[in-house]
């Protein structure tokens, strides 16, 4: 079941752009590019938003997503903490701030 989650779509697009950039770097980066493409496809097919998963169970929840390993989970976390998906998606108050 595919759900129209805009945050997932924005992150998936970012991953696809990274995959394209790695393709241009050459054969040496083909497996890393493949990982980004697989993660983008997975994000687009998720039934819930990665922001919701992260809010509920932090990095552990992101790492449980098929195709999302430790490095990609950290990239998603960094994106959720630093970028402003609300500007890109029209949603409000999506930035996740972990309380001390």
pLDDT digits (tens, 9 = 90+) for 68-79: 999 999 999 999
Report field, pTM of the whole predicted structure over 0.85: no
CATH topology classification for 6-84: DNA polymerase; domain 1 (1.10.150)
Q: Is residue 89 scored above 60 in pLDDT?
A: no
pLDDT digits (tens, 9 = 90+) for 59-68: 999 999 999 9
| Weakest mean pLDDT among 22-26, 69-73, 84-88, 93-97 | 93-97
CA-CA distance, 67 to 15, in Å (whole number)? 13
């Amino acid at each position: 079941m595919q759900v129209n989650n805009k945050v997932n779509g924005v992150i998936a697009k970012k991953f696809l752009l990274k995959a394209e950039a790695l393709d241009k770097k050459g054969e040496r980066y083909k497996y890393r590019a493949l990982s980004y493409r697989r993660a983008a496809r997975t994000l687009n097919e998720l039934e819930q938003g990665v922001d919701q998963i992260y809010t509920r169970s932090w990095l552990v929840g992101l790492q449980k997503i098929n195709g999302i390993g430790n490095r990609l989970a950290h990239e998603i976390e960094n994106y959720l903490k630093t970028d402003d998906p609300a500007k890109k998606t029209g949603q409000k108050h999506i930035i996740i701030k972990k309380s001390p």
